[in-house]
Chain A
Amino acid sequence: MPMLEVKDLHVAFPRGKKDWIEALRGVDLTLEKGERLGVVGESGAGKSMLAFAILNLIAEPGRVSNGSIALDGQNLLEMSERQIRKIRGNRVSMIFQDPMVTLNPVLSIGTQMIETLRAHRNISRRAAHKLCVQKLKQVAIPSAEGRMDAYPHELSGGLRQRVVIAIALLTDPEIIIADEPTTALDVTIQAEIMALILKLCRENDVALILITHDLGVVAEVTERLMIMYAGKCVETGRTRDMIAAPHHPYAAGLLKALPQNAKRGEKLYQIPGSMPPITNLPTGCPYHPRCPRASDICRASMPPLEGGVACFHPLEQSQEAPA
């Protein structure tokens, strides 16, 4: 049995009195202990929604309308608020996109770390302080002892994200969900932070769900990959295989759009059009208006996810990604 198993997850938001709009439309996901999974898709594909849904923290008035999320066989959606709080930040931690805004500006780093630890562990303030300093050292923050009294605005972006990572690691979680952890950082810092997350996950045998739109990062860090489009998983499989030979035309398009795959002097490729808003999805496969392989059946019905691909006309295994 996988450690985390998400089945047929639907998240819906009300529109008007009786109408509901689905932001996630049946997502399946499994995660083994220590496994690293990448979740990739355009903005608005439902990646962050998936992360919040796993912690059962969908903001009102939205709600998980269907499906199950099992951590070691226990369904998180059926838990009481008190029970799930013991999981949030303890067994499942999260790293957010922008460290400028995820730390409380008026509380010192130490206060925020100690509070997190003491919310889950029955330890003294002094012991918590010691453990926090140790974690700050683990994420390679120089003069960790002194940083405990610093306020977020006194640290640089890179240091702040290290603090956020240290907080995520405080309680020795089994799963870390990293929601675009490097997007808000300097390009030079991005690689450092990603390397740090990878190293810490490996050392502590922590499973990672990496949400990003950077396929380059995914290829380096993750073992398995899931590509989302309009609230659905369109293709999933081993990262290496998918990068080498994507089956879904959307996955192929994303890969082709990577600047490093372009020929010198040529215009960069882009997938024509943009993702439809969830309020106005086309019939059938939501990708068909942008898909070069679309046919009548694509317009009429939604392809099921079979063999890791949700497409009526997947690219053949042997076939090269369209160049």
Chain B
Amino acid sequence: MITWRALLKRFLSDPVAICAAVVLLALILMAVLAPVLAPQNPYDLMQLDIMDSEMPPSWQPGGDPRFLLGTDTQGRGVLSTIMYGTGISLLIGVGAVLLSGVLGITLGLIAGYKGGGIDAFLMRLADIQMSLSTLMIAIIALALFQAAFDANVYADYAIIMLIVIIGVAEWPKFARTVRSSVLGEKNKEYVDAARVIGLPARKVMWGHILPNTLTPVMVISTIQVAEAIMTEAALSFLGLGMPVDRPSLGSLIRSGFEFVFSGSTWITFYPALVLIALILALNLLGDWLRDVMNPKLRRGDD
């Protein structure tokens, strides 16, 4: 294990990690403070004016100083929708990872600790789940959901649906990671000692083995958030994610895509830029965390 102090020291000596963290923090702040910072509330239809549609960024000819990054076809300011959309993308990414983390850790812990038939069953289940691509499962489930419910109901529950579908589809990654760590830990003597103390299996698993397996979980969590955001963006781009009136970064990119060839590139370009920055920052932080947490790659000074 690594102490918090050593972690901070390693962090401060790594410019890439600092940059990634700054970008991520800025994007999170931007998303959280969107209602305060955004020049316009893109969800409030009263504030939208169709006459403002497809305006270029303010520095280009025909631009309007009210819309720094221009507007989309509905007259929403691209900057404002990006601010709100980043929040929705982050919410879905983090929510999905929390869900798949809880599912995967629980099932992985049980599989690793109990072993035998339970282990075989859960891991084959994971294999089956892994052999179906997340995107495919999500497309089927969301298409069914969209067909079964009214568009308004769909709009209300889209965030929850996306979190559940992406979260459930990704549990095997956590389960496999946790299981393999548990297999390494459960034969160590401190586990015997915990059982000798008279602790029930539940407490041995959650209180003693789990804390020793959390390092890899932390690392994959960061990268999984990036992956979940990408999955959501892909689904939204296909028209199966967030509805048009509550756009995430993915649905923003899609909404501008039709107009790219008519010259209105800004509707797609700026959300895409933010999405790339977000994913890159998360991946770089995840990589950094993996290197720091891996004792084999650790330098001598901590």
Contacts and interface: CB of A to CB of B under 8 A. Distances in A.
Interface in A72-129: 81, 85-90, 93-94, 96-98, 101-107, 115-116, 119-120
A153 to B, nearest CB: 8
B198 interface: yes
Nearest to A151: B1
B196 A57 contact: yes
B208 interface: yes
A120 B207 CA distance: 16
B199 A101 contact: no
A55 interface: yes
Contacts of B195: 57, 88
A106 B212 contact: yes
A119 B208 contact: no
B118 interface: no
Nearest to A86: B198
B212 A104 contact: yes
B196 A90 contact: no
Given A96-B189, A98-B189, A104 B211 contact: yes
Contact of B193 (A60, A87, A90, A103): A103
B36 interface: no
B197 interface: yes
B111 to A, nearest CB: 15
B194 A104 contact: yes
A102 B190 CA distance: 4
Contacts, number: 67
A88 B193 contact: no
Interface string B206-237: 01100110000000000000000000000000
A268 B194 CA distance: 41
Given A104-B208, A104-B211, A107-B208, A89 B197 contact: yes
B131 to A, nearest CB: 31
Contacts of A103: 190, 193
B196 A55 contact: yes
B197 A104 contact: no
A167 interface: yes
Given A96-B189, A98-B189, A101-B190, A107 B211 contact: yes
A164 B212 CA distance: 19
Nearest to A116: B197
Interface string B174-189: 0000000000000011
Contacts of B211: 104, 106-107
B189 A105 contact: no
Contact of A90 (B189, B190, B198, B212): B198
Given A104-B211, A105-B1, A94 B196 contact: yes
Interface of B: 1, 115, 188-190, 192-200, 203, 207-208, 211-212
9 contacts: A55-B196, A86-B198, A88-B198, A89-B197, A89-B198, A101-B190, A102-B192, A106-B1, A167-B197
